[in-house]
Structure 1
Amino acid sequence: MKIIKINITCLVALLSVLFIGCEVDYKDIDTLGKADSGASEVSINLDLFVAGSWTPDQVATSAGELKVEKYDLFIFKVSSDGNYLEYKEMNITPDASEMVPYNQSIKIGNRNIVLPTGGTKRVVVIANANDKVSYPVLCSLAESTKSDFSDVTVYDKFINDFSIKADKQQTSPFVMMGNALIANADMENVGITLAPQYAKINIKNKAAGSETNGLFISSVQLKNVPESAYPFINDYSKKTSRFVNYEVNMLDNGALEEMIPDKLYLLYTPGTSSASADYRVTVLIKREKEWS
């Protein structure tokens, strides 16, 4: 029996900026070893970890945003006959989940999965999906009712139809995901990185005192914001832009340092070397009559 050990680490990259240029390509995957002959039966040992922030100066996150409540696991068999969904398990509850400090990690669970075949595999893990994502119709090889397996989900359809919904992006915890190509079933250790799918923005009023006298922030506008994101592919034809306006209630003189703390969460949009997606944030300022 062949043993594959998978370490999943969840990393958080949260940004504090007024202008974001995103070039994220989750189609890139870790390829380990060389493809084997596809021998029978393989046992995968899965260790799941949650990690702290990449840097200590990122926008502060709550424990609820980083918590892994449930995760979905998909394993695709890679072969010349097709990259079929061989194994799926939904709504897996981790053994533990908690906020962790900067640059540290904590183990939250372990799973051992026995597959009917060895060979090259693609492993995809989606955390905190709930009603925040849209999956294609999912059917594994074991669930197939067709002699030609035409009803089985293939990897290309999965990555092209999987999307994250913009209207659910402010709901904690964050959607997180990671994937890897296991090209050699004899590898004992395989690492998968789970990353959150949102950029978090805090907009702050740095001015104070007389500099803001009579001024207040009326709203914050976001342009070029996608309705949904397709993080596995670089297909801009699928992107539908929208306009978002956040009304802001301020003190009379607008002197609050945090105008809309922990409120703006933007979906990442994949970018390529020849194209990138920018979120443009406009802050509208109104001036009332001079104070007497």
Structure 2
Amino acid sequence: MKILFYCLSLGVLLLGCSVEDDSIGLFNDNEPQFPSHIEKCGKELAKNIEQTVAILNKQGVDYSDADYSQEFYERFYTDWFGAVSIVTKSEKISNQSEIDPLVLVEKYRNLTPVQRQFIKRIETEGSQSRSYEEFCTIIKKINQDIYNEVPKIEQERLLLMTSFLYYGLSKIYHLQTQGKMLITPQTNLQLAMVKTRSESGSGGFWQTCRKIYEATCSYVVGAVIATGEFVSSISLEAVVTGAGTVMMYAVLLCLPGDTETVSRERCIDLYADKCISGPCDDCLHYCVSSGKIDPRCEYKP
């Protein structure tokens, strides 16, 4: 999946989010705690997803023919960026770019051991959730541990990651339960699963589409890491537009769960540190973007 990235200022991201949305959580007992400015930014992402979906539904957009083709990919991104309200048309075109995997490697190596530890937890434990309730519990526990175990100066990026994941995926889940999702081959199946979920909490894309969290987490983690520790290059648009787009694209296609994927950390280990032949930079880019081993390169065991 193509990874989109937008750049403005971190100050806009942290101070410019003023959205209040108390309808996000269905299970308030499991609501994770965030600093107020980070909570508002997560809610801005949720609001933008809701508004964009509403616009596309009003336009009668129908993705019942959704498939994995390049044609559908381009059609969806054209529709989404045509409807999203936070970015001007000129910005949609001029600010589009892929996150450079070499930059990502450099920034990743600058992370502290405890930051790497928690990023791995966010990636692995979140992907293991099988219901919305379980997802909320996992994010809440990770947040508590970030507060308790990570030095305060190193917490911000980790909490941004969990905030974007929590509020964005919560909003999509709630759109499903309300029957407001865009029409796709999966919509009726997902809605039926939500309506018939047991009291123990199954249903929605957590049960039917096992790779949605991984795809979303890959974008969010990559975008936040790529900004560096003290930077002014990530903006509200970077997460609100980029993460919202990736989330919706993953949900619409209901990415299959029968394919083994490789973590970003493993990609960096193989192709940045152990690659011995082949186009190592290209293999690294492919691995980071797709989560798959590139057979064009050989690496030390």
The TM-score by the shorter chain falls in which range?
under 0.3
TM-score (norm 1): 0.26
Q: Name the structure where helix makes up a greater proportion of residues.
A: 2
Q: Structure 2-normalised TM-score? A: 0.26
